[in-house]
Structure 1
Amino acid sequence: MQTTGGKLIGLIGDEDSCVGFLLGGIGERSPKEPAFNFLVVHPETGAEQIKGAFEAFLKRGDIDIILIQQNIAELIRAEIDAHTAPIPAVLEIPSKGAGYDPHKDSVLKRAKGLIEGRA
């Protein structure tokens, strides 16, 4: 699949989530490294591999949004919270096996801090 100057969504999630989003058309395979704009996380996938994919997505100029399942984001919370640039936006999404906790979401925490700072 080739893009014509458009931007991509990066995805870090379990197999079910990745398959769903790929069926929706977000998949991209590039001849450059890293070749894909998604990482399928299995139970044996280590935090270092997740961190590496996240950092690679941050450096890519063709990704504007990174979706990451919240339970996976917990494994690299320090890196998620350290990313403060607006682009690529990092959005935490729920997974079917783990509930979504808005108190852990880095974007919502920053928004809450901005709102409370103005009050």
Structure 2
Amino acid sequence: MAQLPSYKDRNFIAIIGDEDSVTGLLLAGIGHVNGPKKNFLVVDNKTPISKIEDTFVEFTNRKDIAIVLINQHVADDIRQLVDDHDQAFPTVLEIPSKDHPYGIIRFYL
């Protein structure tokens, strides 16, 4: 039987967001590039939805990522994927951005 990766193996935080959010977190030290793999994606109005979806799936399937941060307005673009993610690791957290206020009313308990 294959051994599942431990939470101790998950060392990174990934982010999918606007330029300001990603830059701020990269300056805080979360950036990691290993060859062609990186743990961040800058999204603007020209970024295709397919690229956001592919990156989200990649980040949620990587065994070295513990948390995926995503701007709420970006998560709205791929809402079905975000809502379908039901694993404890990586944890997906929606965060506000400078230009888009956080919509707490959208979340139901």
TM bracket (short chain): 0.7 to 0.9
Cα separation, 2, equivalents of 1:104 and 1:83: 17
Cα separation, 1, equivalents of 2:95 and 2:62: 21
5+ long unaligned stretches in structure 1: 113-119
Cα separation, 1, equivalents of 2:10 and 2:53: 25
Task: Say if 2:11 is the partner of 1:7.
Answer: yes
Query: CA contact under 8 A between 2:10 and 2:63: conserved in structure 1?
Result: no
List 4+ stretches of structure 1 deviating above 6 A.
none
Q: TM-score, normalised by structure 2?
A: 0.87
Give aligned-pair identity as a percent. 43
Partner residue of 1:94? Answer: 96
Aligned residues: 101
- Structure with the largest fraction of strand: 2
Larger Rg: 1
Cα separation, 2, equivalents of 1:12 and 1:95: 11
**CA RMSD, 1 decimal:** 1.3
DSSP 3-state at the match of 1:100:
coil
5+ long unaligned stretches in structure 2: 1-8
DSSP 3-state at the match of 1:39:
strand
Cα separation, 2, equivalents of 1:24 and 1:63: 17
Partner residue of 1:40? Answer: 42
Partner residue of 1:19? Answer: 23
Partner residue of 1:117? Answer: none
Cα separation, 2, equivalents of 1:42 and 1:72: 9
Report the alpha carbon displacement of residue 104 of structure 1 after superposing the two structures with TM: 2.7
Q: Name which structure has the greater RCO, CA cutoff 8 Å, separation 6+.
A: 2
Partner residue of 1:116? Answer: none
